[in-house]
Amino acid sequence: MKLLGRVALAFALLGGLVAFTVGLVTTASVIGRALFLRPIPGDVEITQLGIGLAISLCLPWCQFRCANIMVDFFTQRAPLAVTRRLDAVGMVMLAVMYSLLSWRTSIGALSVKDAFEATMILDLPMWWSYASLAPGLAFAAVIAVLQAYWLAIGRAADGSESAASDDFHGAAS
């Protein structure tokens, strides 16, 4: 699981860097527009493609950290063995969601590629934005399946035996 976490973190850091780069391009475009009346052409398209890629790369880390928000109020008194089984079911459901989206998005990429669709300004192939989402979704699905397995056999989500690692959390707003 250690390796899995490290790869997920690498994905997330890359995703964060992509988002940061989008910020750089956008800022450069605003400055160019303000000072020289020349924005970066297609900055909106770069943002769309970049942010989609960034978020999909962040999904595995969020899954690895069990940061998908959930309500634990009604099960606070439930024994650990019960909550871990419930969480296993939750992970299976998340895995279904990730894998369906990953699979269908890949199929979408293929059909868009065959149709030769492209963006307006930069003429970027549309299938790129589809294809860029699939790896993050697929990796998140793998992590969710492993977590479901560990939780189902009564371990913590990271595969360890300790109770201390059941630190579920999330931060919505």
Partner 1 sequence: MTFGLTVGLSMFAVMLVLMALRIPIAAAMFIPGMLGYLVMSDGLNLMNLLKGSAVARLTVYDLSVIPLFLLMGQFATQGGLSRELFRAAAAFVGHIRGGLAMASILSAGAFGAVCGSSVATSATITQVAYPQMRGHGYHGRLSTATLAAGGTLGILIPPSVPLVVYAILTEQNIAKLFAAAMIPGILAMLSYIVVIGVMARINPSLATRQDRASWAMRLGSLAGIWPVLTIFLIVFGGIYGGVFSPTEGAAIGALSTFVAGVAKRELTREKLRSALAGTAETSAMVFMIFLGADMMNTTLALTQMPGQVASWMTTLDIPAVAIVLAILLFYVLLGCVMDELSMLLLTIPVIFPAVMGLDLFGLSPDLKAIWFGILVLVTVGIGLIAPPIGLNVYVVNNLAPEVPIADTYRGVLPFLAADFIRMVLLLFFPAISLYLVLQMG
Give residue 15's Cα distance to chain centre: 9
Contacts of 165 (CB under 8 A, 6+ apart): 156, 157, 158
Using CB under 8 A as the binding rule, whether residue 159 contacts partner 1 is answered as: no
Q: Scanning residues 42 to 61, which ones bind partner 1 (CB under 8 A)? A: 44, 47-52, 54-59, 61
Among 6, 38, 41, 96, binds partner 1 (CB under 8 A): 96
Among 97, 118, 142, 145, binds partner 1 (CB under 8 A): 97
Closest C-alpha to 145, from 104, 105, 95: 95
Q: What angle do CA 172, 62, 87 make, to 5 degrees?
A: 85
Residue 10 to residues 21, 138, 170, Cα–Cα distance (Å) = 16, 15, 20
Total residues interacting with partner 1, rule: CB under 8 A: 67
Contacts of 80 (CB under 8 A, 6+ apart): 163, 166
Q: Scanning residues 109 to 128, which ones bind partner 1 (CB under 8 A)? A: 111
Strand partners, 125: 118
Using CB under 8 A as the binding rule, whether residue 29 contacts partner 1 is answered as: yes
Euclidean distance between CA atoms 141 and 99, whole angstroms: 6
Binding mask 60-79 for partner 1 (x = CB under 8 A): -xxx-x-xxxxxxxxx----
Residues that bind partner 1 (CB under 8 A): 9, 12-13, 15-17, 19-20, 22-24, 26-27, 29-30, 34, 44, 47-52, 54-59, 61-63, 65, 67-75, 83, 86-87, 89-90, 93-94, 96-97, 100-101, 104-105, 107-108, 111, 129-130, 133, 137, 169-173
